Amino acid sequence: MTKDYEVRQSRASTHFKFYSEKYLWGGTRHELKPDERSVWVDFLCLATMNFGDVEIYSRDQSAQQLVISRELLDRSIEKFIKYKKVKRDYCRDEEKEIFSIAKWEQYQADYLKKRDKRAKISQNEPRNAKDGNSDTKNTPTLHNTTEDYIKPQNNRLNKSTSQNTKSHDVTQKKLYKTKANDT
């Protein structure tokens, strides 16, 4: 089973969304027995570490790892397949079963989905420097800088100091005119 593009995430930050209402009142509660539901949560945890897939080399070893009986693991997997919670693939080269969680995207955090979309977009779109559309050839637009300096900045003055406004404006104009002439 191959995927087009996977963004690697560090193991320390891997997690999945788990909605209590969906778990308590959703279809899983009616489809699976309590011990099978615990195996389902274990499968979600295992899938989180492998981008939505659970790889099983030996069911005996997996049952031992999950601290459950082999019979419970077999029964749970068959129900997961029956209710289309997982899709089973065989890898004959490595002699393993791969169980892909159906609707894996709904268990992913929103920021991971956005990051994956951005990564796919940036992977598909060429960068500006590569395709010759660089903005290094653009020249900046020059404004009439003298007028910008002459404008007084009245935003600091309030109405109580309105009698000093004229003298303040004249002083500022002189200051900015000398600055504009220097440059």
What are 2-24's pLDDT values in tens digits? 455 455 555 545 777 888 888 88
The residue written with tokens 């994956």 in the block is 116
Instruction: Assign domain 13-122 to a CATH class.
Output: mainly alpha
For the segment 89-100, the average pLDDT, to the nearest whole number, is: 92
pLDDT at 5: 44
What is the pTM assigned to this prediction?
0.55
Helices 70-82 and 34-48: crossing angle in degrees, nearest 10, is 80
For the segment 42-70, the average pLDDT, to the nearest whole number, is: 93
Per-residue H/E/C for 115-129: HHHHHHHHHHCCCHH
What are 72-94's pLDDT values in tens digits? 999 999 999 999 999 999 988 88
pLDDT at 83: 95
